[in-house]
Amino acid sequence: MVWHPFLHAAFIIERWLHVIAGMLIVGGAFVYEFVLPRALEDLRDEQQMAVFGKVRFAFRAVVLAGTLLLILTGIGQTIQLQHPQSALFDIGVQNYWIGRTPNPENLTLAGWWCLAHEVLGVLTLIYALKLTFGPKVPPMSRMRVNFVVLLVAVFLADVSRHIRVTNSEQQIANYVHQWRTTPSEPLP
């Protein structure tokens, strides 16, 4: 696979779609959990339940589309981050893509954070699907727990990205320093 400019554009669009889908799910959960209950306080219980049911029905489409988009773009992002010419290369996961059994000892710190983000994110999205597609309206406490776990998954992604970017900046700085001290050798 050649690292083509098209792949750079696809990577940017995938990341954008991944962030948008996450924003829709987390933002929708926030509105459903914290804004809507306060807005409906003055209504009778049966009216509140009717509104919650309609909102839940509408939110199902957001959760389903967002989950599919997050999983597809997440797979694409993971594949692109494991490309050998990527500055964010992680040998531990890359072994998996070429058919070797990954060795956990080779997984970098960023790789572990990324793995935690992926596992927690998928589990949380499955639970969100269960909550929104279940036969009855779940208790608010379950939905609030899911909302908090979604925020933790976002945090794990942020930590992973920060570590990868910091490592890549350090690698570039090391190459530049090496080149300045021995200018007769070309940069790798």
pLDDT digits (tens, 9 = 90+) for 134-179: 777 667 778 888 899 999 999 999 988 888 778 777 767 776 777 6
In a domain, 64, yes or no: yes
Tally of domains within the chain:
1
In a domain, 186, yes or no: no
Domain holding 154, by residue range, is 5-181
**Rounded distance between C-alpha atoms, residue 40 and residue 132, angstroms:** 19
Q: Does residue 82 have a pLDDT over 50?
A: yes
Which of the two residues, 106 and 110, has the higher pLDDT score? Answer: 110
In a domain, 165, yes or no: yes
Which of the two residues, 109 and 56, has the higher pLDDT score? Answer: 56
Model pLDDT, residue 106: 55
In a domain, 106, yes or no: yes
Mean pLDDT of 49-66: 88
In a domain, 33, yes or no: yes
In a domain, 187, yes or no: no
In a domain, 58, yes or no: yes
**Rounded distance between C-alpha atoms, residue 121 and residue 133, angstroms:** 18
- Calculate Rg over the CA atoms of the chain: 21
Which of the two residues, 1 and 119, has the higher pLDDT score? Answer: 119
Cα–Cα distance list, 96 to 53, 106, 114, 140, 168 (Å): 44, 11, 15, 40, 22
- In contact, 62 and 25? CB cutoff 8 Å: yes
Model-level pTM?
A: 0.73
Model pLDDT, residue 88: 44
Q: Does residue 86 have a pLDDT over 60?
A: no
User: Within 13 A of 64's CA, how many CA atoms are on the CB side?
Assistant: 9
In a domain, 188, yes or no: no
Model pLDDT, residue 13: 92
Which of the two residues, 32 and 96, has the higher pLDDT score? Answer: 32
